[in-house]
Chain A
């Protein structure tokens, strides 16, 4: 059922500044990672992905960094805009398995 009083980690960032969102994963067999953005009342929206043979990938205003040694993933958003306000989830998948496992989520609030 629903959990009362649950709080998402929240990052408040000034418009125009850079944002960094972090994600730790536990499955060392995971070889594919994705960042999703979810706005209130909507489904997840793909932002960027990275495979385990890479440690960095860049998109438009976004960069994903992967550190397999410490099982850590981060998403950097450059020049954060009000439209970037949302909850961000990392997700992982292991080779041969088409099921995604989602992380806990981070709320980003952009202050105009």
Chain B
């Protein structure tokens, strides 16, 4: 099956710093990547959808200047949490779709990145 990786798997940073999380599709070209945030014991909440080479589409209530998304290639998308604060501490998960497998619409999920802001 298609594999999506994330780096780092966990990160601890000080309040006010910026953190970049990478999402890579390892064996297929991802035309679309999605970024989700998940708080403990809660569901996945979609933050934004990014298509390669174009600006990301953010969900209502998600600040685009705080959560910068870049999808510069068909195998890499990055999420940068700018000026992180403790309330940004969460589990960030990406997924990717593209021409992989039998269903070109299936979303393949990464393993997630645990962000802790002190």
Contacts and interface: CB of A to CB of B under 8 A. Distances in A.
Given A44-B93, A44-B109, A98 B32 contact: yes
B7 interface: no
Interface in B26-69: 32, 34, 39-46, 49
A40 B39 CA distance: 12
Nearest to B57: A99
Contact of A105 (B6, B43, B89, B112): B43
Interface in A19-58: 32, 36, 41-46, 49
Contacts of A70: none
B34 A102 contact: no
Interface residues on A, range: 20 to 34
A36 B34 CA distance: 16
Given A46-B106, A104-B43, A99 B114 contact: no
A36 to B, nearest CB: 8
Nearest to A5: B41
A89 B112 contact: no
A99 B60 CA distance: 13
Contacts of B45: 102
A61 interface: no
Contacts of A103: 43
B39 A3 contact: yes
Contacts of B93: 43-44
Contacts of A45: 109
Interface of A: 1-3, 6-8, 32, 36, 41-46, 49, 89, 98-105
14 contacts: A6-B40, A8-B41, A43-B4, A43-B93, A44-B109, A49-B106, A89-B44, A98-B32, A98-B105, A99-B46, A100-B34, A100-B46, A100-B107, A102-B43
